[in-house]
Chain A
């Protein structure tokens, strides 16, 4: 048995994507099977197997996934970002307000959304990298700022992006077009870009290295501050992108919310194998993690439970994944 496991771990495919990711993919199928069996039992014969459910789960996976991709960079540097959820909502509120109240062109509003995220990321990154504030406290502070700014900008009103067939609703095609989950392909493409950035470029190399040993990298003549800041800029920018996909799926955003998504994005990230200690990160793991989080919430709702169960589960997942990471690190030393 042990031998078979070792042989499986040594397969080329398994080595390439990592044993952890193989397990996670298996978990997706297990969860799907689990929900397929339990939903009819708990909900009087209603079925879980349904194309719309998959689309609905994917809607959730996109924005959680983008948030997760961004925060993966921050966690790779050994930091954390608790502002991403509220920043996403702030982006969606400001850009939506520009669209609906100022009648700005849609393409510009989408740009504004990403830009708002990038600004928040830059501010956070500046304080963490250049002013040496703990990322924990910086991002908590920015979380409040993001919530407040969103509310103030929209005068504490929710914003509903246009839906239906108006000219200003083509952004919804980014998520789904004629029943095709376009968003999935965009998500995978952007994830691939993130992977290239993290694993193949000097920027990514520096971010990962400084996550393991910042001082050694600095003493090698690298301006660590710049690269550490970049991680937060990525995180914020991705929150801006996530906002587009959030409104693309759900159209309505309310001020003062968003922090519940932090935990889900971070859960996606850490269960995928990105280490909270910094230095090692898996983009693929985050992608799969986001899908698991999304599938989980779809299943929980389908089985007739409230979303509160989702909060409990993602909280526990974070605890479990981080504990597992710490144990495996101890074993290595």
Chain B
């Protein structure tokens, strides 16, 4: 058994109204990969935040290399050798790889920056990690996977002893994941202590030595990975085993009319010859990995981004959609994956957001808004969607994520959209509200609307879709009827295009 390098004991932390960490113990040994698992909100990030000085702890001790330590900031933790490789990468796209790695501690030649030295040092680092990246390359030209490797190299260059990976594979392709795992195995060999936060069960089995599971701010237990099964871990995570029932067959009659047809869409690198049909009353799932071009396809279709070529037909009629205005006129509504940036106007009221796509229908004369009619229709929509808001005069920023999503849905229903594009409809929404959004989508298609649903959650895809389009690197790689779709088929289509 290796030496323990880090011990956290009885860590307690409360935020207003939440007991985020309830006397949690956690340890890391040299040369081990220690998985930290738990549902969203279980307290994993808070625990790591306490460790790296992002949060201060209310109680408990942290012992690192035999000494009790306390870090007031991530910088102090970093100097001591504890580094997080974040889910979102913090890189400056226009700088080179080497410049990114050594930012803030550049070598100098007199008053000037010694770029040659930095490139040389970066090359040594990459050699050590057995990574093939040119230090002179501009960061933004690298794939997400390569960028992440740079982040790891940066961590190593800080003489880290403990490296925390926070969902490192979320945006990676299979090949990239394999490369990442090779690096992690190598780091393990070199006696680094590694904390690995992930939701992906198969990765946990593959790469980690021990698993600590958290639930509701408490530590549930620590297992030796090789001695436990996936079900053991899942059971510890949820305290109950739940599996959503996937849909078994399409509810759409075979003769349902095609309401939307896209033919050979091209728009930049991420939309390459995409064709598909959407039928009345159908939920068409768009599956694929992050960055597969699904959102880009939706935005090109909706006129939000320019389209290079390709034809779009709405109810059999060829349409020329060149801006969101055109799309809205054709009865298409787009619910963005990033609600706060592209969906709602946070500082405006529920009523004002509700009519944003159809305001011209709520005009009395001379462009004067008929505010009574506006309130009335918003109130009806709040009632119909069961949006939880004290009144339609509430600012949208005061609503929860699920209710904000309903406001956006309401906006498109009020504008009488027939085709709704839901882009990651349940992202950032809690479990209960998720269920409501699903029911709402099912109700909408029953009422004759047609839905394109982009989702990265396999369960969501299999549960909601009648038909599934799979995309990979800007191309459509497969289309399945729900009856024939399986996780494995979808995943293999989603990774098909990726060259090794």
Of the candidates B328, B346, B367, B371, which one forms a contact with A220 in the assembled complex, judged by CB atoms under 8 Å apart? B328
Of the candidates B327, B348, B366, B369, which one forms a contact with A212 in the assembled complex, judged by CB atoms under 8 Å apart? B348
Q: Which residue, of B328, B343, B345, B359, has the highest number of chain A Cβ atoms within 10 A?
A: B345
In the assembly, what is the distance between CA of A180 and CA of B343, in Å?
Answer: 51
Instruction: List A contacts of B323 (CB < 8 A).
Output: 223
Q: Are A201 and B345 in contact (CB under 8 A)?
A: no
CB of B259 closer than 8 Å to a CB of A: no
Q: Are A219 and B334 in contact (CB under 8 A)?
A: yes
10 A-B interface contacts by CB (under 8 A): A196-B368, A200-B371, A205-B369, A206-B359, A212-B345, A212-B348, A213-B341, A213-B345, A220-B411, A221-B324
Interface residues of A (CB under 8 A from B): 196, 200-203, 205-206, 208-209, 212-213, 215-223, 279-280, 332-333
Interface residues of B in 308-353 (CB under 8 A from A): 323-325, 327-329, 334, 336, 341-348, 352
CB of B409 closer than 8 Å to a CB of A: no
Q: Are B348 and A222 in contact (CB under 8 A)?
A: no
Instruction: List A contacts of B131 (CB < 8 A).
Output: none
Instruction: List B contacts of A209 (CB < 8 A).
Output: 345, 348, 352, 356
Once A202-B359, A215-B341, A215-B342 are accepted as A-B contacts, the answer to whether A221 and B329 lie under 8 Å apart by CB is yes
Once A209-B356, A215-B342, A216-B343 are accepted as A-B contacts, the answer to whether A201 and B348 lie under 8 Å apart by CB is no
Q: Are B369 and A202 in contact (CB under 8 A)?
A: yes
Once A220-B356, A223-B323 are accepted as A-B contacts, the answer to whether A213 and B411 lie under 8 Å apart by CB is no
Of the candidates A202, A203, A212, A221, which one forms a contact with B325 in the assembled complex, judged by CB atoms under 8 Å apart? A221
In the assembly, what is the distance between CA of A113 and CA of B304, in Å?
Answer: 39
Q: Are A221 and B328 in contact (CB under 8 A)?
A: yes
Q: Which residue, of B324, B343, B411, has the highest number of chain A Cβ atoms within 10 A?
A: B324
Q: Are A212 and B368 in contact (CB under 8 A)?
A: no
In the assembly, what is the distance between CA of A217 and CA of B345, in Å?
Answer: 8
Chain B proximity of A73: nearest CB distance (Å): 15
CB of B201 closer than 8 Å to a CB of A: no
Chain A proximity of B330: nearest CB distance (Å): 10
Q: Are B369 and A216 in contact (CB under 8 A)?
A: no
In the assembly, what is the distance between CA of A222 and CA of B411, in Å?
Answer: 13
Give the 6 A-B CB pairs with smallest separation, nearest first. A221-B328, A201-B367, A220-B357, A220-B356, A212-B347, A213-B345
Instruction: List B contacts of A200 (CB < 8 A).
Output: 368-369, 371
Once A212-B348, A219-B302 are accepted as A-B contacts, the answer to whether A201 and B369 lie under 8 Å apart by CB is yes
Instruction: List A contacts of B411 (CB < 8 A).
Output: 220
Of the candidates A206, A212, A220, which one forms a contact with B324 in the assembled complex, judged by CB atoms under 8 Å apart? A220
Instruction: List A contacts of B324 (CB < 8 A).
Output: 218-222
Chain B proximity of A197: nearest CB distance (Å): 8
Closest A residue to B303 by beta carbon equals A221
Instruction: List A contacts of B329 (CB < 8 A).
Output: 221
Interface residues of B (CB under 8 A from A): 302, 304, 323-325, 327-329, 334, 336, 341-348, 352, 356-357, 359-360, 363, 366-369, 371, 397, 411, 415
Q: Are A212 and B346 in contact (CB under 8 A)?
A: yes
Chain A proximity of B303: nearest CB distance (Å): 9
Instruction: List A contacts of B363 (CB < 8 A).
Output: 202
In the assembly, what is the distance between CA of A220 and CA of B348, in Å?
Answer: 14
Q: Are A216 and B352 in contact (CB under 8 A)?
A: no
Chain B proximity of A264: nearest CB distance (Å): 27
Closest A residue to B362 by beta carbon equals A202
Instruction: List B contacts of A220 (CB < 8 A).
Output: 324, 328, 356-357, 411
Of the candidates A203, A215, A221, A280, which one forms a contact with B327 in the assembled complex, judged by CB atoms under 8 Å apart? A221
Closest A residue to B336 by beta carbon equals A219
Closest B residue to A209 by beta carbon equals B345
In the assembly, what is the distance between CA of A279 and CA of B349, in Å?
Answer: 12
In the assembly, what is the distance between CA of A280 and CA of B329, in Å?
Answer: 29
How many residue-residue contacts, CB under 8 A, span A and B?
76
Chain B proximity of A308: nearest CB distance (Å): 38
In the assembly, what is the distance between CA of A321 and CA of B314, in Å?
Answer: 51
Closest A residue to B355 by beta carbon equals A205
Q: Are A208 and B348 in contact (CB under 8 A)?
A: yes
Once A213-B341, A221-B324 are accepted as A-B contacts, the answer to whether A280 and B360 lie under 8 Å apart by CB is no
Chain B proximity of A35: nearest CB distance (Å): 38
With contacts A212-B347, A220-B356, A221-B415 known, what are 7 further pairs, Cβ within 8 A? A209-B348, A215-B342, A216-B356, A219-B304, A219-B336, A221-B328, A332-B397
Q: Are A279 and B347 in contact (CB under 8 A)?
A: yes
In the assembly, what is the distance between CA of A215 and CA of B356, in Å?
Answer: 12
Q: Are B342 and A219 in contact (CB under 8 A)?
A: yes
Chain A proximity of B452: nearest CB distance (Å): 15
Of the candidates A203, A222, A279, A280, which one forms a contact with B356 in the assembled complex, judged by CB atoms under 8 Å apart? A222
Q: Are A213 and B304 in contact (CB under 8 A)?
A: no
Instruction: List A contacts of B328 (CB < 8 A).
Output: 220-221
Q: Which residue, of A196, A213, A218, A332, has the highest number of chain B Cβ atoms within 10 A?
A: A213
Q: Are B367 and A213 in contact (CB under 8 A)?
A: no
Once A221-B328, A223-B323 are accepted as A-B contacts, the answer to whether A216 and B345 lie under 8 Å apart by CB is yes
Q: Are A216 and B341 in contact (CB under 8 A)?
A: yes
In the assembly, what is the distance between CA of A196 and CA of B369, in Å?
Answer: 10
Q: Which residue, of A202, A221, A280, has the highest number of chain B Cβ atoms within 10 A?
A: A221
Chain B proximity of A228: nearest CB distance (Å): 15
Closest A residue to B335 by beta carbon equals A219
Closest A residue to B327 by beta carbon equals A221
In the assembly, what is the distance between CA of A8 and CA of B401, in Å?
Answer: 34
Q: Are B367 and A202 in contact (CB under 8 A)?
A: yes
Closest A residue to B330 by beta carbon equals A221
Closest B residue to A213 by beta carbon equals B345
Of the candidates A205, A216, A223, which one forms a contact with B342 in the assembled complex, judged by CB atoms under 8 Å apart? A216
In the assembly, what is the distance between CA of A38 and CA of B481, in Å?
Answer: 85
Closest A residue to B344 by beta carbon equals A216
In the assembly, what is the distance between CA of A220 and CA of B327, in Å?
Answer: 9
In the assembly, what is the distance between CA of A70 and CA of B304, in Å?
Answer: 31
Instruction: List A contacts of B327 (CB < 8 A).
Output: 221
In the assembly, what is the distance between CA of A91 and CA of B367, in Å?
Answer: 29
Instruction: List B contacts of A212 (CB < 8 A).
Output: 345-348
Of the candidates A202, A213, A332, which one forms a contact with B360 in the assembled complex, judged by CB atoms under 8 Å apart? A202
Q: Are A201 and B368 in contact (CB under 8 A)?
A: yes
Instruction: List B contacts of A202 (CB < 8 A).
Output: 359-360, 363, 367, 369
Chain B proximity of A107: nearest CB distance (Å): 25
Chain A proximity of B183: nearest CB distance (Å): 37
Closest A residue to B398 by beta carbon equals A332
Chain B proximity of A10: nearest CB distance (Å): 16
In the assembly, what is the distance between CA of A84 and CA of B179, in Å?
Answer: 59
In the assembly, what is the distance between CA of A332 and CA of B398, in Å?
Answer: 10
Chain A proximity of B350: nearest CB distance (Å): 13
In the assembly, what is the distance between CA of A101 and CA of B297, in Å?
Answer: 62
Q: Are B356 and A217 in contact (CB under 8 A)?
A: yes
Chain B proximity of A98: nearest CB distance (Å): 32
In the assembly, what is the distance between CA of A219 and CA of B356, in Å?
Answer: 10
Instruction: List B contacts of A280 (CB < 8 A).
Output: 347
Q: Are B357 and A203 in contact (CB under 8 A)?
A: no
Instruction: List B contacts of A219 (CB < 8 A).
Output: 302, 304, 324, 334, 336, 342-343
Instruction: List B contacts of A217 (CB < 8 A).
Output: 345, 356
In the assembly, what is the distance between CA of A206 and CA of B360, in Å?
Answer: 11
In the assembly, what is the distance between CA of A202 and CA of B356, in Å?
Answer: 9
Instruction: List B contacts of A205 (CB < 8 A).
Output: 352, 359, 369
Closest B residue to A208 by beta carbon equals B348
Instruction: List A contacts of B356 (CB < 8 A).
Output: 209, 216-217, 220, 222
